[in-house]
Structure 1
Amino acid sequence: MTSTSSFSAFRNFSLGVGLAGLALAVLASPVEAHGPTRQKVTLSTEVAATPDKVWAVVGNFQDMSWHPAVHSSTGTGDNAPGATRVLTLGEEGGPTISEELYKYDAAKMTYSYRITDVKVEVLPVTNYSSHLTVKPVGSDRSLIEWRGAFYRGYPNNDPPANLNDEAAVAAVSGVYQGGLDALKARFGD
């Protein structure tokens, strides 16, 4: 091998190593995030009732009358995946939330649903899904767990305060806490 071809091979090798190092440095460096990140809320409460008694109240997807914010609930499909419901909040003619059931397991006392339509002025979230589960605690108590995942109501950068991540988490937490508090009052501590 001549010295010119050796030099050329070395230069190509060095250039390749340099570019690979640069690529690794770029990949390893912090990148500024943009847009919303998926938020999660999980709240639970323990009540003085057997899981069967609690499930008899919360286990029907079509009936959310146990939640103090819900004026009425109408829907189709019973508890089968694909069932839908529309919750009217507050009073007759109040704002509504449309939801669809996508998983239901009565034996495990759990179901999962997603919001299909809600105005961000009512609940400042998008792409919301939720899971409600009742679990035994000892022989005569239950743990009710309500968890959800969602994006804030404003999908772009620099959201207004009423549609940012904090507003979304606070609103969902308030919905869950209100329902869990009502169940605790109903079944006892």
Structure 2
Amino acid sequence: MRKRSFLGTAVAAMVIPAMVFAHGPTRQKVTITADVATEPAEVWARIGNFQDMSWHPAVHSSTGENGNDIDATRVLSIGSSDGPTISEILYKYGDEKMSYSYRITDVLVEVLPVTNYSSHLTVKPRDGGGSLIEWRGAFYRGYPNNDPPEDLNDAAAIAAVTNIYQAGLDALMVEFGVPDS
């Protein structure tokens, strides 16, 4: 009996440290918000159509199927008509809550250095008038194994998503105006 107990303890002593040090990437999260002077219904009318992302300066065109229905799809052409694409699917849509959620189904990590990406775009009333636009996402870095190259590590993924969100929200702040403080 003592021999088994010793063996069990020895195996556990070897396995537990290996488990502590041998984990892959962790899920990253980014949330960016913008206050605009325009009321939520007008902002939602501009950004609430999953099929139309023409408000984002990086999106050259957007094509898709099934409107704002669950499982609707869209393909974003980035930069130009022959630029890279990002394919996405809608998994939650709430017109009354002015919110939708989607996932990327296909993108090259050279275009966006992430995997398993999901995102939520919401418009909320702002105290004192205007709107709060919130864009948040969760994802893993583009390189799923340990020791990623610099362009596919956590920092690169966070920076890329942050830049995309910020560019879109900056464009909306120009379009809808910034509220008086």
Residue 136 of structure 1 corresponds to 125
SS at the partner of 2:20? coil
Q: Which has the larger radius of gyration?
A: 1
Pick from 81, 94, 97 the counterpart of residue 92 of structure 1.
81
- How many pairs align? 177
Pick from 142, 146, 151 the counterpart of residue 135 of structure 2.
146
Distance (Å, rounded) in 2 between the aligned partners of 1:27 and 1:110: 43
Deviation by residue 1:54-108 (Cα, 9 ceiling, x = unmatched): 0001000000000000000000010000000000000111000000000000000
TM-score normalised over the length of structure 1: 0.85
Residue 147 of structure 2 corresponds to 158
Pick from 67, 70, 77 the counterpart of residue 66 of structure 2.
77
**Which runs of at least 4 in structure 1 moved beyond 6 Å after TM superposition?**
none
- Is the CA contact (8 Å cut-off) linking 1:125 and 1:152 kept in structure 2? yes
- Unmatched 5+ stretches in structure 1: 1-11
Give the superposed CA RMSD. Answer: 2.3
Change (3 A) 1:188 1:151: same
Letter in 1 for 2:72: A
Distance (Å, rounded) in 1 between the aligned partners of 2:127 and 2:30: 25
Matched, 1:111 2:97: no
Distance (Å, rounded) in 2 between the aligned partners of 1:58 and 1:155: 32
Distance (Å, rounded) in 1 between the aligned partners of 2:128 and 2:93: 24
TM-score normalised over the length of structure 2: 0.89
SS at the partner of 1:93? coil
Matches of residues 16-35 of structure 1 in structure 2 within 5 Å? 31-35=20-24
Shift of 1:31: 2.2
Among the aligned pairs, what percent are the same residue? 67
- Unmatched 5+ stretches in structure 2: none
Distance (Å, rounded) in 1 between the aligned partners of 2:20 and 2:84: 40
- Is the CA contact (8 Å cut-off) linking 1:50 and 1:139 kept in structure 2? no
Letter in 1 for 2:53: M
Matches of residues 54-73 of structure 1 in structure 2 within 5 Å? 54-73=43-62
Shift of 1:139: 5.3
Shift of 1:40: 0.4
SS at the partner of 2:21? coil
Shift of 1:34: 2.0
Distance (Å, rounded) in 1 between the aligned partners of 2:108 and 2:25: 18
Shift of 1:35: 1.0
Deviation by residue 1:16-73 (Cα, 9 ceiling, x = unmatched): 7xx89x979x979x92252111000000010000000100010000000000000000
Distance (Å, rounded) in 2 between the aligned partners of 1:138 and 1:168: 33
Letter in 2 for 1:131: H
